[in-house]
Amino acid sequence: MKIAVLGTGYVGLSTGVCLSEIGHHVYCIDINEQKINNLRNGISPIYEPGLESLLASNMTAQRLQFTTSLEEGLNDAEIIIIAVGTPQGDDGAADLSYLEQAAKDISKYVAASSIIVIKSTVPVGTNEYIQTIIEAECGFPVQMVSNPEFLRQGSAVQDTMKPDRIILGSNDKTAAEKIREMYLPLNAPIILADIRSAEMIKYASNAFLATKISYINEIANLCEVVGANVEDVANGVGKDKRIGEAFLQAGIGYGGSCFPKDVKALLHTASLYQVDFSMLKETIAINDNQQKLLVKKAVKRFGDLQGKKIAMLGLSFKPETDDMREAPSIKIAHSLTQMGAEVVAYDPVAINNAKQVLGDIITYASSVYDAISQADALMIVTEWKEFTQLDFASLVKKMNHPIIFDGRNCLEEEQLKACGNVEYYSIGRPVII
Ligand code: NAD
């Protein structure tokens, strides 16, 4: 099939590349010329494991092209997939301006037979709203399919090639059937729904996962005061099939480009209909509190952070991505520096993006060893696998004080015991001194 994808971000690029991998002819379109120029040279604008090699092989096979021109990209497109950003607006609602602009832009080139698929995360009613924009501009009826995306950054290729399920929402059976055909080579379960239910499925999923995180974090906070260990608790709880083990890792809360904004957008939708979704308000409040925990623990330990050198390991909002959107490291870096601490941070891939967000309020190290040298404390903020495999026994010898605040519970007791007289504070687990 001939497919056009608007937006070459984490979702659009992964989708475009994977659709070409299963044999479709894909044109990826973006308004950002630099991204498109890089992509034409086989350079991915994002860090995503496995993406760049698929990019290269499908470009070579001439199934994948890139352009900033809608006229070129939409020419002959049977399916137009919109995957532009829907960031959080000032009032908590999803900002639909990129989507509205994309709708106006494509209506100049859309054909009556093409199917428009919205993959961006959008509030209930948005597909119908975008349809009215396009039809008003192009002057004929168009077919819409809501196809929310569930990929996780860091495993976007794998998630796109092997999704748990594909949701297709449409009021037009033929349009949904065509998109089902597009996905057939993936051999994935496909769930058909009406267009509004499809839109709601995405928010209900993300809000549930965020709530699961806040729930285990509250249990962790309780574990700390009653003397239990949240790791053992989560293990015991998660083995119950009705609950499941995923998303029961206590820590310094969720961040990223989806959970924070999607939970707030769902809350905003509820408020528009005078529904008091109080559980979501608590999910957000718990998460805000959780992101402050490492700094609180450091203040409790040191009293005053003025002049203290803190090594920060991890900047991205989660491992295996360079994405800094809503990363807990941002708030932590601001709090520490406002209290007079000097922060030296290391991240395997997110430093360039972090510099755009944090500028020079912190220093960026080129290795864990550089970051940790002469530090008064170490804070683990992102659980990159390589951090868990470090030789902490020799690392802590480089510090002024062997004090570790682990925001992701990624170190084990045996590792720490091998370090000698280390002080270790984590989330919902006993302090080790
Ligand atoms: P992103 O910010 O990484 O990428 C968006 C891209 O769209 C940018 O490259 C931008 O230049 C481009 N763009 C903006 N307006 C355009 C236009 N008119 N024409 C062509 N391109 C245009 O965003 P993302 O993280 O890929 O998210 C996209 C959508 O998918 C959002 O709605 C998000 O909520 C949703 N989503 C994201 C994830 C994720 O993990 N990132 C997962 C599931 C769903």
User: pLDDT digit string (tens) for 288-347?
Assistant: 999 999 999 999 999 999 999 999 999 999 999 999 999 999 999 999 999 999 999 999
Ligand 1 neighbour 86 (Cβ under 6 A): yes
Looking at residue 433, its pLDDT comes to 87
C-alpha 51/C-alpha 64 separation (Å) is 13
Tokens for 140, please give them: 């004929």
pLDDT at 420 over 90: no
- Tell me the mean pLDDT in the region 65-81: 97
| Mean pLDDT computed over 222-230 | 98
The torsion angles phi and psi of 145, rounded to 5 degrees, stand at -135, 125
Ligand 1 atom with the smallest distance to the CA of 102 is 18
Assess whether pLDDT exceeds 90 at residue 423: yes
Query: For residues 16 and 46, what is the distance between their CA atoms, to the nearest angstrom?
Result: 14
Taking the domains of the chain in order of start, what are their residue ranges? 2-193, 202-289, 292-425
Quick one: what percent of the chain has pLDDT higher than 90?
97
What distance in angstroms lies between residue 17's CA and the mean position of ligand 1's atoms?
15
Give the pLDDT band of residue 417 (cuts 50, 70, 90): confident
User: If you measure from the C-alpha of residue 397 to the centroid of ligand 1, how many angstroms do you get, rounded to a whole number?
Assistant: 44
Mean pLDDT confidence for 206-228: 98
Q: How confident is the model at residue 418 (pLDDT cuts 50, 70, 90)?
A: confident
pTM: 0.96
- Local structure of 96: helix, strand or coil: coil
Index of the ligand 1 atom closest to the CA of residue 101: 18
Ligand 1 atom, smallest distance to 10 CA: 26
Mean pLDDT of the chain: 97
pLDDT of residue 416 exceeding 90, the answer is: no
Name the residue of 104, 118, 149, 266 whose CB sits within 8 Å of the most ligand 1 atoms, as the mutation to test its pocket: 149
Does residue 164 surpass a pLDDT of 90?
A: yes
CATH topology of domain 202-289: N-(1-d-carboxylethyl)-l-norvaline Dehydrogenase; domain 2 (1.10.1040)
Query: Which residues 6+ apart lie within 8 Å of 9 measured at CB?
Result: 46, 83, 84, 85
Supply the pLDDT for residue 421: 85
Q: Give the pLDDT confidence score for residue 402 in this predicted structure.
A: 93
Q: Do domains 2-193 and 292-425 have the same CATH topology?
A: yes
CB 344 within 8 A of CB 333: no
pLDDT tens profile 117-141: 999 999 999 999 999 999 999 999 9
Quick one: pLDDT at residue 272?
Answer: 96
CB of 308 within 8 A of CB of 238? no
Ligand 1 pocket residue status of 106, Cβ below 6 Å: no
| Architecture of the domain delimited by 292-425 | 3-Layer(aba) Sandwich (3.40)
Q: Spell out the residues 6+ positions from residue 99 whose beta carbon is closer than 8 angstroms to its own.
A: 82, 84, 86, 118, 120, 122, 126, 130
Which residues sit in the known binding site for NAD(+)? 30, 35, 86, 121, 261, 325
At residue 415 the predicted structure's pLDDT band, cuts being 50, 70 and 90, is confident
User: What's the ipTM?
Assistant: 0.99
Catalytic residue list contains 258: yes
Q: What is the pLDDT of residues 93-113, one digit of tens each?
A: 999 999 999 999 999 999 999
Kindly indicate the confidence band of residue 182, based on its pLDDT and cuts at 50, 70 and 90.
Answer: very high
Which DSSP state fits 65? E
Topology of domain 2-193, per CATH?
Rossmann fold (3.40.50)
Task: At 162, list the tokens.
Answer: 């092997």
